[in-house]
Structure 1
Amino acid sequence: MSKAYDVIVVGAGNAALCAAISAKENGAEVLVLEKGPIHKRGGNSFFTDGAIRFAYSELKDIRKVIPQLKDEEADTIVMPEYSTSDYYNDLMRVTEQQSHPELAGQLVSKSYETIVWMRGHGVEFELNYENQSFEKEGKIHFWGGLPVKTKDKGIGLIKQLVKRANELNIDIWYDSQAVRLLTDNEQISGVVIQQKGQEQTVEAKSVVLACGSFEANKEMRSKHIGSEWEAAIVRGTEYNTGDGIKMALELGAQTFGEWDGCHSIGTDANVPKVGDFTKPGDIFKKHSYPLGIMLNKDGHRFVDEGADFRNYTYAKYGREILKQPDHVAYQIFDSQVRPLLRKEYNLEEATVYEANTLEELIEQLPVNKAQFLQTIEEYNEAVQEGDYNPSVKDGKGTKGITPSKTNWALKIEEGPFYAFPVTCGITFAFGGLHVNSDGEVLNEKQEPINGLFAAGEMVGGIFYKNYPGGSGLMSGAVFGKISGSQAAKYVGVHRENAALK
């Protein structure tokens, strides 16, 4: 029997480490359990691009978490306010008003203070110039409510959170899979773990589950989201196989949220089948589709590429790609927009076809060549006149074709031409556990399971159909911080009650 802890945190990604740090600063003795080896730590957070969405009123709020931003640089920046109501309305809009109001409100209202808290624990942030700003008349204009990212992407985030956990003397055990939760008198009493094929019990008065959803479990994907999801690429860690959810359900936890929905994106068709820890940083995604068009192998378009900024469509268009023949589509661009494509299109890992004419380009592709060319010609004929401006929803669309393209419609007519094949990559499932705003896991009677908390992807009920970019990372941090502090508080109350007996 190993030593007993106040709080055990299952998982070692952003949500889990925020929970561990929060519990520790609130007086608890904390153990973090990581299923994977040390060189594969960090969960899905390790693979993130680092963009994190929070509410702020003006640039001075952002400068509190980016203190290295000099006055001269700040003077060149135009930073629109992104209020809590802006954030909440965006969240509700893209989830079709289904996000649970209490959980959504907690995420939004606690977002800024959580960012400040993270900065206080050494997490470094920087402005997201590359993907969320444009230059106009000598000023840098930010847009889309997502101006900040973690320094060095998810790699830097995990590195700093682990460093802080070590500074606080939080124990972290790698190659340690939690397999069962223990209770005594209807209260959490410990965790059974498996290390090197051997089981052992670790006592604890409280547990925070933050070990991801079930996106890396092919059987659970097929059962809950649909059989076609067996073909989806797993964008992040292979260790998010639903272990925490299963353990909680065994104790009577209530499921919650959109169990047949998930966050998925268009990613390079030749991406690794699971996240490659030697190539982190979300380098395979392909998110410049609003600047071009997407066709399937039969030669048909299937989404409105310009329906909204990519921040609000990319998390739902992955599933649309999955529905296409062979789960593949082709993003088509010409030389007019090629310089505007995001950085990932220029990496050596990007799969691309290039030709001086459309006919030569299509000849290289394993597609219905006649229909492919016909669709592009019909699209070009449907493009309407107007001012083209990719930094705003410019209303420059098409007329007479289905689906239409609402914004950023340019004729594809200037060579060279480019085709980027994409497939569907799943990030996390939207279905999870029912928790309250304090991160407590609820049973079928919607009552807290004493001593059990959850954070991160395991929290169901926040995201449905879609999500505003950067909200997953923020949700993990917010509910990680809350669940850690509440777990420590629970332990304190539990200890006081025991002393009174």
Structure 2
Amino acid sequence: MRRNKRSVTVAMFLALLLVLLTACQTTENDPVTDETTEAAEVDQTEAAATEEDSEASEQGDVLSFTPGSYEGEAEGFGGPIKVAVTVDEAAIQTVEVLEENETIGIGTKALELLSEDILAKQSIGVDMVSGCTYTSVGFLAAVTEALEQSGVNMDAARAVVQEEPVSTEVQTIETEIVIIGGGGSGMGAALTASEQGAKVVLLEKMPFLGGAMAISGGSVVGPTSDYQQAEGIEDSADLFYEDLLLNGHINDEQISRLYADNVGDMFNWLQNEVGVKFEGFTSAPEYQADRIGKLTGGSPEMAETIRNKLAETDVEVYLNTRATELIKEGDTIVGVKAEGADGSQYEVRAKATLLATGGFGNEKEMLQPPYDTALYYGPVSSTGDGHKMAIDVGAMTHNMEYGKIYPNGVEVSPGFAKSTVTASSEVLRNRSGILVDRSGKRVLDESGSYASIRDIMLEQEDQTLFILMDKENWDVFQQLNIDTRTLTNTEVERGISNEGAAPPLIATNSDIKTAAETVGVDGDALVETVENFNAYYEAGNDEEFGREIKMPIGEGPYYIIEQKPRFATTLGGLKITTNFEVLDENEQPIDGLFAVGEIVAGPQGDDSMPGANLGWAFTSGHLAGKQLAEKVAE
């Protein structure tokens, strides 16, 4: 194996990025920002030269390598991606990923697809995987570094291979149930309906299944489940229903009741039949009982378990296939038109059409304040496709002005966040992290609900608070971020090196005052705040906010990191019956059209609780799958 010094220059990497962004076939309204990446400014002369090189390479440059195996490494979404590329004199033989920490089933799927594409086309001038920009750019940069060591003409290696045009003749698919959207609710409905004997087609516009579920916080509520009862936890459907209404304020009470009465059965099915693994229950200030089921391996492992279970069924899954228009004949929805990423055209005709398309958090034109300015951290697929198609056939929308903002975002690129929810909650609730504003003062009991922190945060002039941690707390905080595949060490290092000039705002120093002033926080006031906090610990009484302080702030170096509003989940959408029928503007069911998951308004009102989004996704999907299977069998 030959290992040379890295030679990928900044200019070459930016040129590569330009080619990739130009070549990438993304779907309409898909800004390629799920695994968000920073915009790169490329000199126009360099861009023109890159285009000329690409054209020249298409005219007949031949690949010629020095045989061997070469390694390359670059930063991906979850950390470094390390590859080994093996070549002979004339071809790329293998592309092997040696190290990665990408999201299971999403980033890892992108690595698989990109490797296959490079080998098939014998070129790194391939399309990025939609929804996996960070992973795609990192992987291709690593492969580029490896190939540069092989002596190949890099212009030839970057040649864009022109594919044969696909027929635009419409293909008709007949089924009993067509499900639009392959997230938690759609996969849950598909699994259940198939188990009940129904013929199911599942359409997903992304190149992978999972949706928001696969990148969520990693918990599912399970009140009244067998597992919760076995743990000796007292709970009931009535208590959960009460919490839904108390937290949600403007719920559709019939749908909330439906949720509360069926969530336990859903949890039993998810655990016992699908095979999703849990590690006990925890609670949150919003709940009257410990009912948040903690997922083993988090959401990525759960999503992979469900994908594998779905693969065992007869469900026909069409990936990279976007639904474009509901088919209406008379007053009845009889299916949907769809288009593949390669231009293939479909008409899927069915007895029941189920919308499971998620929310519209990534469709700025549909958002209202404060959601239109909050940092986005959700999937690129949340563009309101289902909402738009349903509105076009006369569906009623409800609560469209509401969404869920969490108070623990870190701005890793302009307008986009990563969530530190697990790490932030640990240091604020169970350790000695404190939350301060720019004046250097604490603003509330940090162990309180997300909603209480969010409300204080939104009152700030720049909607920013900061967590201060000692070295011991920071080590726990950042390890949790690594374990949950969120904030990477590279992003932390970049934030520190920015020295407060640009996000993410992160500072470290053995002196609290110096660290604070680096990110624009009053240093003298923060020193006093820390002294007061430690005095409250010694006295056993937080005189300011009544927090139960479990440990003092210890030795440095100290770390300060921004916390900003982050947003992904929308709470507005279609109004439905308890049979999941979509209602029209006169509140009458639209024959043949049904909806589940985030596209439905009402189950959680104007706010959502921890674990309740996934709880609703699976409960609605599982129950609708049962009901529709029975309906189409009539």
| TM-score normalized by the length of structure 1 | 0.77
Which residue pairs with 2:365 in the alignment? 219
Aligned residue runs from structure 1 range 442-461, under 5 A: 442-461=583-602
Per-residue deviation at 1:355?
3.5
Change beyond 3 A, Cα 1:474–1:413: closer
Does 2:175 align with 1:21? no
CA distance in 2, matches of 1:382, 1:60: 37
Does 2:379 align with 1:240? no
Q: Name the stretch that deviates more: 231-240 or 186-195.
A: 231-240
CA contact (8 A) 2:223 2:237 kept: yes
Which residue pairs with 1:74 in the alignment? none
SS in 1 for 2:617: helix
Aligned residue runs from structure 1 range 428-467, under 5 A: 428-467=569-608
Counterpart selection for 1:364 from 500, 503, 518? 518
Per-residue deviation at 1:25?
2.5
Per-residue deviation at 1:23?
2.0
CA distance in 1, matches of 2:228, 2:467: 39
Counterpart selection for 2:339 from 172, 191, 194? 194
Q: Name the stretch that deviates more: 421-430 or 116-125.
A: 116-125
Change beyond 3 A, Cα 1:253–1:127: same
CA contact (8 A) 1:451 1:487 kept: no
Which residue pairs with 1:136 in the alignment? none
- Alignment-mate amino acid for residue 612 of structure 2: S
Which residue pairs with 1:498 in the alignment? none
SS in 2 for 1:188: strand
CA contact (8 A) 1:214 1:429 kept: yes
Change beyond 3 A, Cα 1:344–1:413: closer
The one of the two structures with greater contact order (alpha-carbon pairs below 8 A, sep at least 6) is 1
SS in 2 for 1:476: helix
Aligned residue runs from structure 1 range 349-498, under 5 A: 349=488, 351=492, 353-370=507-524, 372-373=526-527, 385-386=539-540, 396-399=541-544, 405-409=545-549, 413-416=553-556, 417-493=558-634
CA distance in 2, matches of 1:88, 1:340: 35
Which residue pairs with 1:72 in the alignment? none
Per-residue deviation at 1:296?
3.1
CA contact (8 A) 2:352 2:628 kept: yes
Per-residue deviation at 1:108?
1.5
Counterpart selection for 1:42 from 191, 195, 210? 210
- Alignment-mate amino acid for residue 420 of structure 1: I
CA contact (8 A) 1:146 1:469 kept: no
Change beyond 3 A, Cα 1:88–1:179: same
Change beyond 3 A, Cα 1:60–1:301: closer
Which residue pairs with 2:274 in the alignment? 122
Counterpart selection for 1:6 from 148, 154, 176? 176
Could you report, residue by residue, the CA deviation over 1:92-143 in whole angstroms, capped at 9, with x for unpaired residues?
Answer: 2322x433322122111111111122234333222148x769xxxxxxxxx9
- Alignment-mate amino acid for residue 184 of structure 2: N
Change beyond 3 A, Cα 1:88–1:249: same
Q: Name the stretch that deviates more: 478-487 or 146-155.
A: 146-155
Which residue pairs with 1:70 in the alignment? none
SS in 2 for 1:201: strand
| TM-score normalized by the length of structure 2 | 0.62
CA distance in 1, matches of 2:511, 2:440: 17
Change beyond 3 A, Cα 1:336–1:82: farther
Per-residue deviation at 1:245?
0.9
CA distance in 1, matches of 2:276, 2:202: 22
CA contact (8 A) 1:57 1:82 kept: no
Aligned residue runs from structure 1 range 132-211, under 5 A: 145-146=290-291, 148-195=293-340, 196-211=342-357
Per-residue deviation at 1:270?
2.5
CA distance in 2, matches of 1:420, 1:219: 31
CA contact (8 A) 2:387 2:599 kept: yes
Does 2:246 align with 1:93? yes
Q: Name the stretch that deviates more: 118-127 or 242-251.
A: 118-127
Per-residue deviation at 1:439?
1.5
Change beyond 3 A, Cα 1:218–1:17: same
- Alignment-mate amino acid for residue 332 of structure 2: Q
SS in 2 for 1:113: helix
CA distance in 1, matches of 2:179, 2:452: 31
Report the structure number with the largest CA radius of gyration: 2
Q: Aligned pair count?
A: 439
Per-residue deviation at 1:487?
2.5
Give ranges in structure 1 of 5+ residues lacking alignment. 63-77, 134-142, 308-312, 387-395, 400-404, 494-501
CA distance in 1, matches of 2:296, 2:223: 19
Q: Percent identity?
A: 22
Counterpart selection for 2:254 from 83, 102, 110? 102
CA distance in 2, matches of 1:319, 1:461: 22
Which residue pairs with 2:265 in the alignment? 113
Which residue pairs with 1:329 in the alignment? 465
Give ranges in structure 2 of 5+ residues lacking alignment. 1-170, 493-505
CA distance in 1, matches of 2:542, 2:245: 26
Change beyond 3 A, Cα 1:459–1:346: same
RMSD: 3.4
Which residue pairs with 1:83 in the alignment? 236
CA contact (8 A) 2:423 2:478 kept: no
Change beyond 3 A, Cα 1:150–1:340: closer
Which residue pairs with 1:65 in the alignment? none
Could you report, residue by residue, the CA deviation over 1:28-82 in whole angstroms, capped at 9, with x for unpaired residues?
Answer: 21111111113xx3111111243111113776745xxxxxxxxxxxxxxx74323
CA contact (8 A) 2:436 2:466 kept: yes
